[in-house]
Structure 1
Amino acid sequence: MCALSMPQQTKRPVSFRLTALAITLGSLSCHPAIAQQQQDRELQRSIEVINVTATRQTENLQDVPIAITALSASELEKMQIMDLGDLESHIPNLNLHVGDASNAVIYIRGVGQIDSISFNDPGVGVYLDDVYMGRVQGSFLDVVDPQQIEVLRGPQGTLYGRNTIGGAVKFTSARPGQETEGYVGLNLGNYNQRGLKASLSGPLIEDRLAGRFAIAKTDRDGYADNLFDEKEDYDKDSLAWRGSLLYTPSEQFNAYLVIDGSDNSPDRSRTPHRETPIYSVVSGDYRKPGSDPFTVNANYNDLEQLETRGAALTLEYQLGNITLKSISAYREMEYRTHLDLDGTPDSSFGIYNFEDQHQVSQELQLLYRTDNLSLVSGLYYFNEDDLTFGGAVAPDFFVPLGDDVFLPFPVINAGERDQQNTSRAIYANLNMDLTDDLGLTLGARYTKEKKQVVSAGEEFAGTGIDSAEQMEAAFGTGVGYGQTGFSAEQQWSNFSPKLVLDYKASADTLIYASASKGFKSGGFNGRLTSFAQPFDPETLWSYEIGSKSLLNQQNVRLNLAAFYNDYKNFQLSRFSIDADTGAFLSLFENAGKATIYGGEMELSAVISDALTLNLNAGYLGGGYDELIGDFEQEVSDQRELVNAPKWNGRAALEYWFNSVTSGSLSLNASVSYRSKTYLTVSSSEILAQGGYSLMDLSLNYLSDQDWQASLYINNLTDKRYRHHAFDLSASPGVQLGYYGAPRTFGVNFTYRF
């Protein structure tokens, strides 16, 4: 199925001229376009037409009054987007990386969630083929056989299944079609990178049933060396697959079934680099940090397994201007890991987490559309059961007594949490033309959410049990001691409205202003087992103005947005110490409120027949208005927003060599920049990442004979930069940094048939 299509007639159609650049980009994702590309190679290049489904209907990007960035399959391939983390520099005001426990850490406009534990909901929703993914584990997706990826900035609730307070990342996989086509791709690179991808699509019953299957396998050695066992750390071993069937018995009805799975089983979990000294009970002295962030010395990083499975069935029936749609989905995730959070060969602070999660969701939609009015409305149900078993394996743990005196205090414990989350909602989004040029959008959502948790804990130090797996087998049998536990439940309701005015200033310029409310559910601190510590929902009012323009005879696309967020009751995870006992505390609280404002710019321009420019920039301002820290102290003037660099942006040039006669050859060069970023709630200056730039290069060749190849270098200057961190300076007294990928290079080869 070709990912590039002619622009559809929307409520305010914009005329576009499809030229050779758009055809060339489309040819990377659909075989029939290769012939067209050969015929039209000499035509002048122009801006690619992008159709999006952000409003649950297919519309031209420039006609949608939402801050949204969309990348087609061809752009994702050309930009070497291998996983969601590679999107970060391509979207203004987006922070997206993998966390300490294979979790997706996503912040949009300074709103997100850094914690990897399952008791709290994501601040930014990830959707896979319109299905909300309930846990951050399993949400850091590999980009396998996409149709496109859309990133929506700001609260989403009147168009999507689950409330997302910060925004949404929407991954749409390529659909099967009635024309037989496929591809096989090979990736080879440094660190012994080996990747294989393949896809096959075509008719199973002519004009009625089509199928598609895609698979991707990736292996890579580790970026870091572990001195403890002389093995490598931060390696990769993943397998992802997806199968789909599209049944179209008539023009009015279709059924779309997608089944997917993934298995990520590297040899080691990801070990952080120690940025500060830590006391060692074993040696009786401090262990100093090393200078190389890709050299670690850790003994508890020997397990990392993440498996996901999912199925979604979408039924769609069209009756005149009305479309009825049902989206039924089931997903499950299993995660097991050992995490070394002392960064030493001692067993000072090893953490383990075993999690089994499954979710079901059902969404019923009614869509109505005429020339001057469109309605998206729906009922949504979501139920999730998450069973987590976790704790510490820390026989070398200690308690500081002051004056460099430390008391050995072995900790070997376990906690089990069974949590059920239920969400029900009704929503509607009505868009109407008030005049030929003025449009109004009214949206509303009412949500009821309920969380039930049963939690229990035991101590095992001194019992002869000294491993997570032994504790898992012995838990609840009476071997442990100091049993704690509680059960609790709570529910919340919320009304979230939305108002948008948009004005067509000219045939090629749209101006809009919006106000919308976001909501994220409350819950219970899942690290505690002795008592229930509830936290309240977050709320956010977002005010935005923006414009979308095509300039210079539609050879320049310029989209601008400015926003102001009033953020209340935000949920923060932090680590502290009990002033009376010296015990380690893991807290999750509603810490206060914040004001966040900023702006965004996205520019695509055809400078000449051979040169194009892509530029984006983001600015974030504001900060905490109120923040309660340790011992109930107000510390807002001492803290900075997490994952909210003041400036971020990317500039990319693409040059096409016109002298190539048997294909197309282009050179892509880009540089991205992020200013100083605070990675922890504590605003640790040691862990804060100073401003830095990354440079990428690629040389891409598209043959007339159905194949293409590219050479690439990412992080050309081999910059060392932190993108995730833990401040455990309260206890056990160490600060830890997780680093982004070093310089990588390789070759991609794809054959299409």
Structure 2
Amino acid sequence: MKKSIRFWPACWLALWWWCVSPVLAQKQQTVLTGRVLRASNGDPLVGASILIKGTKRGTITNRAGRYRLVLTEPVTIVARFVGFRDVEVLLLPTGKPIEQNFDLLSNDTQLADVLVAANRQDEYLQKVPVAASVVGRRDLERRSIYNTMEALNNTPNLITDSWLNSQVSFSIRGLSTVFDNVGFESTVALYIDDVYFSRSFAFNQTLMDIDRVEVLRGPQGTLFGKNTIGGVIHIISEKPDMNNNAQIELNYGNYNFRQIRAKLNQQLIKDKLAFRMTGALSLRDGYVTDRTPAIEALNKTAFFGLRGSLLFTPSDRVSLTLRGNYGRDGKAENTFVYTSKPDYNPVGVRADEGLTTNQNAPAEFTRDQYGAMGKLEVKLGRNTLTAISALNSSSDSYFSDNDISSADASRWGRSQGLRTFSQELRINSPRDQKFAYVAGLYYLNERISVTDTFTLNKDFVPVAARLLGTPIANASKFTSEGYTSNAVIQSQSTAGFVSGTFELTPKLRMSGGLRLTTETRELAYYQRIRNQFLNGKPFNIINLYATNIGSKANPETRQTTNLALSYDVGLDYRFTSNLMGYAKFVRGFKGAGFNTTPIKDSESGGLVFRPEYVNNYEIGVKAKPTERVQINGAVFYTDYKDKQELLDQGTRVRVANAPLTRGYGAEVEFSAMLKRFRLDLSAGYLNLKFIDFPFGTDDNGNPVNYAGNRLLKAPDWTFSVAPEYNIPLNDRYRVFVGLNINHTGKAYNDISNSEILARVPASIVNGRLALVPANGKWSVALWGKNLTNKLYIQHGWEYEFGNQIAWSRPRYYGVEVYLNFR
């Protein structure tokens, strides 16, 4: 098939030459000139070869990367330089001078030239004055990464955790999302293919067709908008291409792990229209074992998802991409165990041991997600106009034994939904001109709803007596009291933004940007309690936590309006073509929010909390002294005002603004490659604390101030090392061996810095051993994660009836088979 594909263009070219050669013979020779440059930084490649394919004719570039060649007939020109990918161009002699420049990319024997869209268009990472990490397709494959959380393990000053697939937390530079209150918007913004998601419901999906995952650390409010104080995680999918191919991947591992992922790419109209479809099915038993078989049977993971995309390029100046997706989770992977203190056992139940629990109700969970987006790109001269429209929806439902023990103390359920429409219109210039800019308008409309149901049951009575300071009358007759709370948030946000870079000298650039955001949010909230009556009198045990607030017909309402200006200013200086330093200041903003969890008083409990602001100062350096070594680093200082914080004590949730929060940190990333060996290192350090944080009173009425406490999910150290080695067996096969070691220092899981719930320092070791043929048609790999079986607490809550913690995953391993159909 390949021979026939190559044969026909050769015939047409020969026929064309036979017809026109008498005419061309009468014309002058064509002089071909140009430059050969490194694509990532524009450096000239000295001594690059310019060859006429199929002959021994050619030349090499001079010190400026220039070449000159004379043509007399149609030829294919090949630009070649050691360590870079060849580029071929078909040229026809015209009798007039032709200039043909070549931009070469690194090949697999050197560090790849990585792209990042920090300025809302693709640029080479080493050119962009932003602290950014990029996890590409190569990393996803060689580290056996199967979901988005795993993709972020090697990023400095970033940690992730999850106690359900729908309840995901990620923290960048000590600034974390809150996953247990939909009234809190994320501090770290999540983007998927240029589309913003204000909640992390959709975060931890099984990866299927990901081109790369970008992490932009520090505030990114000018170009990426609101709620980017901690940074941005941008997941970029593969686009359809004008080829026909397919891939399938099969996995099997312990805990009965079964996964299949597949993708198909089809060219429908030559060079005009292409289609891509991907799908994934992931099943696994739970790793926390319940002693009750009927409950244990539901402790599993089950995910199914589809994604489709269509690329239409009617001309070289117009591109339209359409995407759609659907995903469903059908099981709840329970990670909780009961962990009462040794000297405090409120419900008379011993603490669970290890990854074994004994609950009296199953954890039930379902989630459905779907969405669609369209992206139109039009070339206007050298500029590009981009329009992006998106609709997304997510809904899930969860129910569990809230006390996580064999006692029947409480049960809790939640259903929540999110519907969004967003529209963005922006125009940008090329980044290689003296003044480069991007400007645009953005609109977001959201509806978020949540319903909580909660009951206190018979085994809570001893706890209630202690809290009330008096015995409960007729305690043996008590069965259940509870509440239902409902919140609906309608929000609209509109923004205009502009950002630019001006070249002051050939080496010095100044950058700056502004974004004006206006937001309006409306809350409708009601809460109804259910009392048990005996002889006409209520027990009033549920009144410890909730009271009647509004009604379905007449809910309590609140409204907030914010008008805020975010901005940044910076300088970057290119000492050499491979060494850049930068300094920048960023003013960030996050709007006011609502406490949608159950409260005891609509006023003192605080349905509304204030917006927060941050000033961030950063100095960084980016260096790539050779094609095989790269090092990037940054130091930063953060100054917060009115930081939004939540103290989740299970049945009681309190929200407040911390007046002053400050801290500093540093991070560095290093990569090096030899002939068959590659090493990636990263390290991060954080020191962020509350300077002033009054937080009400304790149980004895004494004022509480969390000044001096560390921020939650802000480890002091993060470190990773990822060595890999390729061993050629012969001309047809090679073996790949890779390790991925990640260390996270101590981190607290709540703002009160509870030691019993803290995440202990832990080092996680992952590995992969793969056999790969030279033609890339298939591969077989053995993989293992957490090989040393290290366990740590991902998250936890302090309850009056005892504490509960969510464990990290234990050791798991499996085999992967990959097939490539071209």
TM-score by length of 2: 0.81
Shift of 1:236: 0.9
Letter in 2 for 1:333: S
- Check the 8 A contact 1:11/1:371 in 2, yes or no: no
Distance 1:406 1:612, change over 3 A: farther
**Gap runs ≥5 in structure 2:** 1-35, 49-79, 87-106, 535-547
More divergent stretch after superposition (642-651 vs 692-701): 692-701
The answer as to 2:640 corresponding to 1:564 is: no
Partner of 1:430: 500
Q: 1:274 aligns with which of 331, 339, 344?
A: 339
SS of the residue aligned with 1:401? helix
Over residues 224-283 of structure 1, what are the superposed CA-to-partner deviations in whole Å (9 max), with x where a residue is unaligned? Answer: 1112345156521001211000111011111110001110111555434425369889xx
Over residues 432-476 of structure 1, what are the superposed CA-to-partner deviations in whole Å (9 max), with x where a residue is unaligned? Answer: 211110111111111111110111121234389xxxxxxxxxxxx
Letter in 2 for 1:695: V
Letter in 2 for 1:721: Y
- For 2:108 and 2:558, the matched residues in 1 are separated by 65
Shift of 1:89: 2.5
Partner of 1:29: none
Q: 2:785 aligns with which of 714, 718, 736?
A: 714
Q: 1:136 aligns with which of 195, 200, 204?
A: 200
Q: 1:573 aligns with which of 646, 662, 667?
A: 646
Q: 1:598 aligns with which of 652, 660, 665?
A: 665
Letter in 1 for 2:794: H
Partner of 2:426: 365
Shift of 1:700: 2.0
Task: State, as a whole percentage, how many aligned pairs show the same letter.
Answer: 27
Letter in 2 for 1:612: R
- Check the 8 A contact 1:156/1:168 in 2, yes or no: yes
Q: 1:622 aligns with which of 648, 666, 688?
A: 688
Distance 1:505 1:747, change over 3 A: same
- For 1:214 and 1:179, the matched residues in 2 are separated by 15
Distance 1:57 1:435, change over 3 A: same
- Check the 8 A contact 1:215/1:242 in 2, yes or no: yes
Partner of 2:140: 76
- For 1:10 and 1:434, the matched residues in 2 are separated by 21
Q: 1:306 aligns with which of 364, 367, 373?
A: 367
- Check the 8 A contact 1:261/1:307 in 2, yes or no: yes
More divergent stretch after superposition (383-392 vs 408-417): 408-417
Over residues 329-350 of structure 1, what are the superposed CA-to-partner deviations in whole Å (9 max), with x where a residue is unaligned? Answer: 0000011001333111233232
Partner of 2:811: 743
The answer as to 2:171 corresponding to 1:103 is: no
Superposed, 1:90-489 pairs within 5 Å as: 90-100=154-164, 102-229=166-293, 231-232=296-297, 234-266=299-331, 269-276=334-341, 286-292=348-354, 294-369=355-430, 371-396=433-458, 397-398=460-461, 399-401=464-466, 407=472, 410-462=480-532, 485-489=555-559
Shift of 1:690: 1.9
Q: 2:117 aligns with which of 50, 53, 64?
A: 53
Q: 2:774 aligns with which of 690, 693, 704?
A: 704
Letter in 2 for 1:314: K
Q: 1:542 aligns with which of 607, 612, 616?
A: 616
Letter in 2 for 1:89: N
- Check the 8 A contact 1:460/1:481 in 2, yes or no: no
SS of the residue aligned with 1:539? strand
Distance 1:205 1:374, change over 3 A: same
Shift of 1:318: 0.5
SS of the residue aligned with 1:620? strand
Shift of 1:744: 0.6
- For 2:424 and 2:152, the matched residues in 1 are separated by 30
SS of the residue aligned with 1:544? strand
Distance 1:623 1:438, change over 3 A: same
Superposed, 1:726-741 pairs within 5 Å as: 726-728=797-799, 732-741=800-809
Over residues 286-344 of structure 1, what are the superposed CA-to-partner deviations in whole Å (9 max), with x where a residue is unaligned? Answer: 2120221x111223333101111010101111111221111000000011001333111
Over residues 27-48 of structure 1, what are the superposed CA-to-partner deviations in whole Å (9 max), with x where a residue is unaligned? Answer: xxxxxxxxxxxxxxxx982212
Distance 1:669 1:270, change over 3 A: closer
More divergent stretch after superposition (695-704 vs 558-567): 695-704
Letter in 1 for 2:810: P
Letter in 2 for 1:290: D
Distance 1:599 1:713, change over 3 A: same
- For 2:450 and 2:320, the matched residues in 1 are separated by 35
Over residues 588-647 of structure 1, what are the superposed CA-to-partner deviations in whole Å (9 max), with x where a residue is unaligned? Answer: 1213321121100100012x3222111000000131111122418353346221111111
- For 2:740 and 2:345, the matched residues in 1 are separated by 45
Partner of 1:609: 675
Superposed, 1:502-517 pairs within 5 Å as: 502-517=572-587
Alignment root-mean-square deviation, CA? 2.8
- For 1:554 and 1:11, the matched residues in 2 are separated by 12
- For 1:338 and 1:22, the matched residues in 2 are separated by 55
SS of the residue aligned with 1:678? coil
Letter in 2 for 1:288: R
SS of the residue aligned with 1:159? helix
Distance 1:304 1:570, change over 3 A: same
- Check the 8 A contact 1:132/1:161 in 2, yes or no: no
Partner of 2:735: 665
Shift of 1:667: 0.7
- Matched residues, number: 701
**Gap runs ≥5 in structure 1:** 1-5, 25-42, 465-477, 578-583
SS of the residue aligned with 1:74? helix
Distance 1:727 1:484, change over 3 A: farther
- For 1:601 and 1:386, the matched residues in 2 are separated by 38
